[in-house]
Amino acid sequence: MKPSPSTSTTAGPSNPVSLPVQAENSTVLLETVSLLVVNKNGTAIPARALLDSGSICNCITKKLANSLCLRRTEVDIAVAGIGESTKQIKCQLTACIKSRVTPYFIKLEFLILERPTVNLPTIPMNVSAWKIPELPLPDTRFHIPFDIDIIIGGEAYHELHPCIKHSLGKRRPLLFKTVFGWTVSGKVSVDLPIVSRTCHLTTVDRFLENVLQKFWKSEAVEPRSVYSVEQTQCGELFSATITRDSSGRYIVRLPLTRDALIKLSKSRVIAERRFLNLERRLERGPPTKDAYSKFMEMGPLRQELVEKDEMIQQLQMEAEGPPKPHIQPGKHKLRKRQPQQT
């Protein structure tokens, strides 16, 4: 404490009264602990945490989250702090934290932030005159400004404290027993003229979150399938009937349709055009025409074509209603050239 210049007030017309005013500079130590965080491989990584009953949510730095390599979940949460300032959070993860001095552990969800808070404490302190008993301190550097990796909020704050405390004396902080050891917290007098203040109140702005969700829903485009009904049926048939034989070859049923009203392309027009084109080409090449005619007049092939044509006509006569649509394949000539003898 440092005395400030005296100020005087007047009690009456001739009786001045002087009142010395002492200004006290102080700060508050917040509960910080050193603990272990389990990563993806089960390895425990040391971290420094702030126990903050004024925070609704738990927070973790992006740097520590990256080193844990744990699975993340996408969220859209607005975190509100002092002065109604908000910050949008996009990711969270679930991690297991463990005590370094007791078997205690707990799984908590953490919102991922670039930097949840400033270095704590905000100023270095001389604690050489403090008579701290021989108790396990989870953060031996509680009086030196250092990074905070994790904030454990009100969700688990009271579970960590068995309500046992110990005083370090007048104008000095208290010792609180936790599952991590004894933490140091409370008001401390300092000799510095200016001490910065830090507030760690954080809340989740549900109203803003709901408004944002409604906005995204109104702007969202409903997903539409890029496949037609027939393509979807083919995919389902493939998944249901695919097998593999002993030689390793895949076997799948053909996607045959039973719909007689299926729309087919105008195959007859295409087949007639190809047939006329074939006749013109044969007229220009007499040797090719003779070979083609001989092939078409071969006994077994001609008989097979005639039988198929009669069968198709018979089925059309027996069918009721209009004839069912069908595909008319086009005709092509294939000619195998004999190699020249030299």
The CATH number for 187's domain is 2.40.70.10
Half-sphere exposure of 71 (CA within 13 A, CB side): 1
Mean pLDDT of 112-141: 88
> What does the pLDDT average to over 234-250?
87
For the stretch 27-65, what's the b/e string if a residue is b when 16 or more beta carbons lie within 10 angstroms of its beta carbon?
Answer: bebbbbbbbbbbeeeeeeeebbbbbbeebebbbbbeebb
pLDDT at 262: 57
Q: What distance separates the 2 farthest-apart alpha carbons in the chain? A: 146
**210 and 231 belong to one structural domain:** no
Cβ–Cβ < 8 Å for 80, 71? no
Residues 205 and 75 in one domain: yes
Is 185 part of a structural domain of the chain? yes
Question: What is the pLDDT averaged over residues 116-137?
Answer: 87
Label residue 249 by pLDDT band (50, 70, 90). confident
Q: Which amino acid is at 37?
A: V
Range with the poorest average pLDDT among 48-52, 69-73, 294-298: 294-298
Question: Torsions phi, psi of 165, nearest 5?
Answer: -135, 165
Q: Quick one: 53 and 201 in the same domain?
A: yes
Residues 232 and 208 in one domain: no
CA distance 226 to 192: 69
**Is residue 150 located within the same domain as residue 203?**
yes
pLDDT category of residue 342 using cuts at 50, 70 and 90: low
Residue 314 has pLDDT above 70, yes or no: no
Report how far residue 64's alpha carbon sits from residue 150's, in angstroms, rounded to the nearest whole number: 9
Domain hosting 252: range is: 227-256
pTM: 0.52
Report the range of poorest mean pLDDT among 31-45, 58-72, 95-109, 220-234. Answer: 220-234
- Whether 38 shows a pLDDT value over 90: the answer reads yes
- 139 and 252: one domain? no
Angle subtended at Cα 305 by Cα 300 and Cα 307, rounded to the nearest 5 degrees? 95
Say if residue 304's pLDDT is above 90: no
| Residues 120/30, Cβ–Cβ less than 8 Å | yes
One domain for residues 245 and 165: no
Q: Could you give the CA distance from residue 54 to residue 80 in angstroms, rounded to a whole number?
A: 12
pLDDT the model gives residue 10: 41
**191 and 291 both lie in a single domain:** no
Q: How many CB atoms lie within 10 A of CB 97?
A: 24
Q: Specify whether 204 is located in the same domain as 231.
A: no
For the ranges 106-115, 194-203, 206-215, 303-312, the maximum mean pLDDT occurs at: 106-115
106 in Cβ contact with 95 (< 8 Å): no
Q: Is 166 helix (H, G, I), strand (E, B) or coil?
A: strand
Residues 194 and 129 in one domain: yes
**Mean pLDDT of the 262-270 span:** 67
Q: What is the mean pLDDT of residues 85-100?
A: 91
- The pLDDT, as a whole number, for residue 200 is 53
Residue 110 lies in a domain: yes
The structural domain count of the chain equals 3
- Which two three-digit tokens encode residue 308? 């198929």
Q: Does 197 have pLDDT greater than 80? A: no
Report pLDDT for 20. Answer: 36
Q: Is there a single domain that holds both residue 170 and residue 236? A: no
Q: Determine the pLDDT at residue 107.
A: 95
Looking at the structure, tell me whether residues 234 and 192 fall in a common domain. no
